[in-house]
């Protein structure tokens, strides 16, 4: 009997160990599933990466945008889109450490502020969310606090949205269709000529790049060289009315962060080498739809 009792005890002991292991295995599986469910529940909001180029500061020789505003310390620390017609009341402020990127072709150098918008899939004129972001020399949009190129809209759910970009002296753009966005980041590349946007000729095409048209100083969604509402007239009058331009010199260089500074070099110049007016005239005359090369042609934007 003692000989039979030993195997029975061993079997009972082994069964007990097996049951304990099975219990812990089931417990771990349930805990892992619960934890995974918790992690999934934290995946809220919409994330995206966006790339765009501005015509004004773009330099073909480097295939980058110049960062003169950053280098001269002219970039405002607070987002500049509070005034009409933007009327964006966001509280974004620039992390000062992000302005220390060196000059000389650095791809992450900060160029300027942009206004990024997500719009309703059923009504692209309806803005659902906005964010003031930084623009890097290589076209990547970045969070102005963290420097991350992944931009989060935490209060939106995954779904389809029109993506829109606006700038203080370039014509805005908006995607041609509503795009599927989710917690998983997607790249929206407005600098790719094959990426479709609303309207015809809505971007300036240069070789393999699509750039936002420069010249909309008054932000009326048009670029006008001559006539009523002329952006060029606004530029010249701004130079002539500058307080330090006591001689009313048309070649006066107005320093500072201003909408009239189309090439974003920190200076507004109406006449002379590298003046800002030339961009307005050249864009009007070279616009594909202006087949008669009329100087009074109105270049109309389609972005917003």
177 DSSP assignment? S
- Looking at residue 207, its pLDDT comes to 93
Residues paired with residue 181 on neighbouring β-strands, in sequence order = 159
DSSP 28-95: HHHHHHHHHHHHHHH--SEEEEEE-EETTTEETTTTEE--HHHHTT-S-SB-S--STTT------B--
- Looking at residue 148, its pLDDT comes to 93
Query: What tokens does 96 get?
Result: 């000062």
Rounded average pLDDT over 273-285: 95
- Looking at residue 98, its pLDDT comes to 83
**Which residues are within 8 A (CB) of 271 and not within 5 positions of it... i.e. 6 or more apart?**
250, 251, 277
**Predicted confidence (pLDDT) per residue in 235-261, tens digit:** 999 999 999 999 999 999 999 999 999
pTM of the model: 0.85
**What average pLDDT is seen over the chain?**
88
Q: Is the pLDDT of residue 81 over 90?
A: yes
**Predicted confidence (pLDDT) per residue in 105-126, tens digit:** 488 899 999 999 999 999 999 9
Neighbours of 135 (CB within 10 A): 26
Which of 13-22, 145-154, 242-251, 291-300 is the least confident region? Answer: 13-22
Domain boundaries of the chain, sorted by first residue: 46-212, 222-300
DSSP 105-132: S-TT-EEEEEEEEEEESS-TTSEEEEEE
Q: What whole-number percentage of the chain has pLDDT above 70?
A: 85
Q: Which residue has the tokens 């100087």?
A: 295
The most confident of 23-27, 182-186, 187-191, by mean pLDDT: 187-191
**Predicted confidence (pLDDT) per residue in 214-227, tens digit:** 999 999 999 999 99
- Looking at residue 6, its pLDDT comes to 55
- Looking at residue 14, its pLDDT comes to 57
Angle made by CA atoms 155, 156, 162, in degrees to the nearest 5: 135
**Predicted confidence (pLDDT) per residue in 146-185, tens digit:** 999 999 999 999 999 999 999 999 999 999 999 999 999 9
- Looking at residue 12, its pLDDT comes to 53
Residue 13 is inside which H or E element, if any?
helix 2-42
Single out the residue of 151, 223, 172 nearest to residue 52, CA to CA. Answer: 172
Q: Is the pLDDT of residue 28 over 50?
A: no
Neighbours of 107 (CB within 10 A): 14
- Looking at residue 32, its pLDDT comes to 43
Rounded average pLDDT over 48-71: 96
**Which residues are within 8 A (CB) of 188 and not within 5 positions of it... i.e. 6 or more apart?**
48, 49, 50, 51, 163, 175, 179, 195
- For residues 42 and 128, what is the distance between their CA atoms, to the nearest angstrom? 21
């Amino acid at each position: 009997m003692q000989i039979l009792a030993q195997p029975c005890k061993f079997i009972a002991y082994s069964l007990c160990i097996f049951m304990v292991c099975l219990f812990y295995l089931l417990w771990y599986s349930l805990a892992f599933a619960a934890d995974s469910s918790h992690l999934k529940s934290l995946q809220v909001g919409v994330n995206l990466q966006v790339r765009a180029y501005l015509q004004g500061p773009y330099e073909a020789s480097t295939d980058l945008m110049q960062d003169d505003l950053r280098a001269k310390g002219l970039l405002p620390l607070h987002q500049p889109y509070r005034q009409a017609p933007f009327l964006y009341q966001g509280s974004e402020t620039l992390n000062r450490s992000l302005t220390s990127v060196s000059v000389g072709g650095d791809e992450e150098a900060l160029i300027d502020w942009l206004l990024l918008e997500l719009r309703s899939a059923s009504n692209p004129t309806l803005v659902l969310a906005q964010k003031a972001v930084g623009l890097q020399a290589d076209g990547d949009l970045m969070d102005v606090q963290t420097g991350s190129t992944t931009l989060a809209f935490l209060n939106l759910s995954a779904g389809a949205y029109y993506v829109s970009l606006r700038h203080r002296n370039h014509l805005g753009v908006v995607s041609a269709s509503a795009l599927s966005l989710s917690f998983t980041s997607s790249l929206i590349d407005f600098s790719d000529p094959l990426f479709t946007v609303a309207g015809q000729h809505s971007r300036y095409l240069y070789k393999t790049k699509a750039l936002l048209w420069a010249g909309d100083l008054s932000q009326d969604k048009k670029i006008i060289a001559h006539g009523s509402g002329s952006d060029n007239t606004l530029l010249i009058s701004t130079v002539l009315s500058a307080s330090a331009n006591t001689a009313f010199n048309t070649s006066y260089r107005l320093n500072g962060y201003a909408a009239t500074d189309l090439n974003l070099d920190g200076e507004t110049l109406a006449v002379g080498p590298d003046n800002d007016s030339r961009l307005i005239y050249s864009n009007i005359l070279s616009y594909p739809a202006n087949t008669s090369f009329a100087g009074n042609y109105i270049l109309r934007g389609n972005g917003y």
